[in-house]
Amino acid sequence: MFAKTFRNTLIASSLLVGASLLAGPAALAQTASGEVGGNIAPISTLTFTLPTAAASTTLTTGSFAMGSLNVRNNDPQGWTVVVTSTNAGELQNQDATTPANVYITYSDLTVADSLAAFGATPSLADPTLASQTLVDAPHTEAVATAVVNSAVSATIAATGTVDGGTTSVALAGLPTGTYTDTLSFTLTSK
């Protein structure tokens, strides 16, 4: 009888110890944590593309396609584009045989409304100024993730100027040649 009781006690003790071992690891669980993450690099790219037919464009009074702006920026505060004209808003004749100071004035430099769809506020720029803000925009997902192709245009005056600015001549009466200006666009994160 003693052996039977001892054996039953041994089996009960083994079951109790086995159950403790099974429950033990859960009671001893530990938690470890750490902060994970990364950075998104700043993006600020700008290109100005001339029209494909720029060399053969005939200048006429009214709207004149200058080219297009491609903008990509992910600054959380937004961005601006400033424009500067080398010739103070004048398309100057580049033909060496033409008398000096023959030019056509242009004004109202604008960016297409497509930028407005991305939260930008395009404004008229006066190219005679040294530089002027052409676009002021907040951060938007669209501009941060894709390049925006927006047309840049200006208004060509009905007349040109010859003789150093003393004689006004209708566009059709101006000397033949290529009339150019250089526009510089500067993209700045706020």
| Domains along the chain with CATH numbers | 44-189 (2.60.40)
Provide the residue-wise pLDDT of the chain in tens; the chain has 190 residues: 555 555 555 555 555 445 454 555 556 889 999 999 999 999 999 999 988 765 456 788 888 888 889 999 999 999 998 888 888 888 888 887 766 688 888 888 888 866 666 666 666 667 666 778 888 888 988 889 888 888 888 888 888 888 766 788 888 888 888 888 898 999 999 9
Q: How far is CA 137 from the centre of its chain?
A: 9
Distance CA 27, CA 7 (A): 30
CA-closest candidate to residue 110, choices 142, 154, 149: 154
CA-closest candidate to residue 117, choices 180, 175, 71, 163: 71
Say which residues have a Cβ less than 8 Å from residue 92's Cβ, sequence separation at least 6: 101, 102, 103, 179, 180, 181
| Entry pTM | 0.74
Using a 10 angstrom Cβ sphere, with 0-12 exposed, 13-18 middle and 19 or more buried, the burial of residue 15 is exposed
